[in-house]
Amino acid sequence: MGSSIKREVFVVDEGFQLKYSILLATTGLLVSFLVGYVFYSYVNAHDSALLVAGLNQSKEAVLFLERQRKLLMIKIAAVGVTITFFMFLVGLVFSSRVSGAVFSIRRSIDSIHTSGDLSVRFRVRKKDELKELVGDLNKLMNKLDAKYGEGSVSKKDND
């Protein structure tokens, strides 16, 4: 389980990673929308209370409150877009840790299948999510190699 492995390609499984990233981005967008709606409703209720209290006698005050509401909507939208983009990037990073490990495991399995070499070991990066599974697979490969590998075949032939 080498820690010095560097992956050259960040997006390994486009379908999985895109689906995971879009799911997180959509969640971020929905949370942003909900928080923005609650905040906007709160500010709007207070503005309405000010207008009912007689502040609507001044055109400047009414225009000021309208400008503030528009500015608030722009800020809420900007925060929502920023959170959505950030959540999309987080989705890419974390899905890379899973899909990259799966890609590496599949590559090792293909190598074992093609060559029949039981000395092949699975390798993933230190931060990959499936590193414990890879450790278990390597223990299994050690046992298989000891029992059926070239070393054990030659021992049987010598007996």
Domain that holds residue 32: 14-158
- Average pLDDT for 72-91: 90
Task: Please check whether residue 3 lies inside any domain of the structure.
Answer: no
Total tally of structural domains belonging to the chain:
1
In a domain, 39, yes or no: yes
Query: What's the pLDDT score for residue 45?
Result: 82
Residue 94 predicted with pLDDT over 70: yes
Residue 9 domain-assigned? Answer: no
23-71 pLDDT per residue, tens = 999 999 999 889 888 988 888 788 777 777 776 667 887 788 888 888 9
Is 75 inside any structural domain? yes
Using CA atoms, how far apart are residues 159 and 156, in angstroms rounded to an integer? Answer: 5
- Calculated CA dihedral for residues 68, 72, 75, 80, nearest 10 degrees: -170
Q: Do the domain assignments include residue 7?
A: no
Stated pTM of the model: 0.64
**Does residue 131 belong to any structural domain of this protein?**
yes
CB 12 within 8 A of CB 100: yes
Task: Report yes or no on 125 lying in a domain.
Answer: yes
